[in-house]
Amino acid sequence: MRVILAPMEGVVDHLMRDLLTAQGGFDLCVTEFLRVVDQLYPERSFFKICPELANGAKTPSGVPVRIQLLGQSPEWLAENAARAVALGSPGIDLNFGCPAKTVNRNKGGSVLLKEPETLYAIIREVRQAVPPHQPVTAKIRLGYDDTSLMLENARAIEAAGATELAVHARTKRDGYRPPAYWEQIALIRSEIGLNVIANGEIWSSDDAKRCQAVSGSTDLMIGRGALACPNLAAAIKGLAPKAPWEAVQALLKRYSQFEIRGDKGLYYPNRLKQWLQFLRLQYPEAEALFQKVRTLSDKEAMLESINP
Ligand SMILES: Cc1cc2nc3c(=O)[nH]c(=O)nc-3n(C[C@H](O)[C@H](O)[C@H](O)COP(=O)(O)O)c2cc1C
């Protein structure tokens, strides 16, 4: 079984990848998306979303980090994919699941799920631009408004030469509302030969087992669940029990020690509050801490709260 850390724009950056992969259990991370319109980005843009490129595209604990691109132009995506891989990204992931309005207006993300032929054109072009031994993976939802094109999309992705497919088991219209329809992943699996990674609503090792049983997928991708329970990947693999609050507290302290270059002072307070909002789903102590810091905007005051 592989467990992959889901890409989460504005939430899972290199610092969070460092903290979470250090808990064990993860086999791969995917970066936040780099949005491609009509240019080849300079190298620094790739290092910005994936500072791990300076470390062989691995987190400090050695977990590979793959760059994700989002866009609609096969040619520009292919050029940027080639550069990302040349800089060390272990393959390329293509985002066809993002529901954000601005992204979809510019025809990137989940809106492309209405156009199987565009999915095909993009993956084919990227596949040709990237050395054959490097994976080209795609991440989709079940559809845009409904699942009517789900199987056609999956077939197009396979025919274009993708290496694997991660499926967030909801449509764009479903947003993030539970449930995730893991049984739809089983349908996709019965239609194509590609390895399919199951994603959506995995919050515990029990969820992981049920997701595997219902979807038929061995490999899982976890996002919000890993922020709510930082050692979820290790727990899913049976390597450790769910971390006690004291261990999570130690992580919060470690997070506070990261020095962020160019930070105007807001990064840490905002990110800490954001993380506590996930942690409080699993730890009542995080709820209490969130209530304590929610009105604070000053790093020092927040540090005092988590280091009483
Ligand atoms: C705040 C946030 C940001 C996200 N950013 C991305 C992204 O950049 N690329 C992507 O493919 N999916 C993105 N996703 C979707 C997640 O990767 C994942 O598919 C989704 O959260 C469902 O998995 P989960 O239930 O394990 O969280 C994002 C989700 C959230 C909540």
3-state SS of 270-300 is HHHHHHHHHHCCCCHHHHHHHHHHCCCCCHH
pLDDT digits (tens, 9 = 90+) for 235-249: 999 999 999 999 999
Sign of the alpha-carbon dihedral angle for 117, 123, 124, 126? positive
Shortest-distance atom of ligand 1 to CA 33: 8
Residue 259's pLDDT is what?
73
Q: Which of 28, 222, 224 to mutate to test ligand 1, by most ligand atoms within 8 A of the CB atom?
A: 224
Q: Which of 50, 112, 168 to mutate to test ligand 1, by most ligand atoms within 8 A of the CB atom?
A: 168
E strand or H helix that includes residue 175: none
First-to-last C-alpha distance (Å) of the chain? 40
Ligand 1 mean position, distance from CA 179 (Å): 15
Closest residue by CA, ligand 1 atom 12: 7
Residue 141's pLDDT is what?
97
Pick the catalytic residue: 29, 50, 98, 211? 98
Is residue 98 among the annotated active site residues?
Answer: yes
Q: Residue holding tokens 């992931």?
A: 93
Looking at residue 107, the DSSP 8-state letter turns out to be T
10-residue block means of pLDDT along the chain (308 residues)? 97 96 98 96 98 98 98 97 98 92 76 96 98 98 97 98 98 96 98 98 98 98 98 98 96 86 77 96 96 90 84
Residue 302's pLDDT is what?
87
Ligand 1 mean position, distance from CA 8 (Å): 5
Residue 258's pLDDT is what?
82
pTM to 2 decimals?
0.97
With beta carbons less than 8 A apart as the criterion, state whether 85 and 130 touch. yes
Residue 262's pLDDT is what?
66
Closest residue by CA, ligand 1 atom 19: 168
With beta carbons less than 8 A apart as the criterion, state whether 146 and 172 touch. no
Looking at residue 221, the DSSP 8-state letter turns out to be E
Ligand 1 mean position, distance from CA 119 (Å): 19
E strand or H helix that includes residue 71: strand 65-71
Distance from CA of residue 43 to its chain's centroid? 22
Shortest-distance atom of ligand 1 to CA 95: 11
Distance from CA of residue 250 to its chain's centroid? 24
Closest residue by CA, ligand 1 atom 22: 200
CA-nearest of 170, 181, 240 to 205 is 240
Closest residue by CA, ligand 1 atom 6: 8
* Residue 169 identity (one-letter amino acid): A
Residue 47's pLDDT is what?
98
Shortest-distance atom of ligand 1 to CA 170: 22
Ligand 1 mean position, distance from CA 223 (Å): 6
Closest residue by CA, ligand 1 atom 10: 7
Ligand 1 mean position, distance from CA 120 (Å): 22
E strand or H helix that includes residue 5: strand 3-5
| Contacts of 226 by beta carbon, 8 Å cutoff, 6+ apart | 5, 6, 20, 232, 233
| Contacts of 100 by beta carbon, 8 Å cutoff, 6+ apart | 109
pLDDT digits (tens, 9 = 90+) for 43-101: 999 999 999 999 999 999 999 999 999 999 999 999 999 999 999 999 999 999 888 87
E strand or H helix that includes residue 32: strand 28-36
Compute the distance between CA of residue 3 and CA of residue 13 in angstroms, rounded to an integer.
18
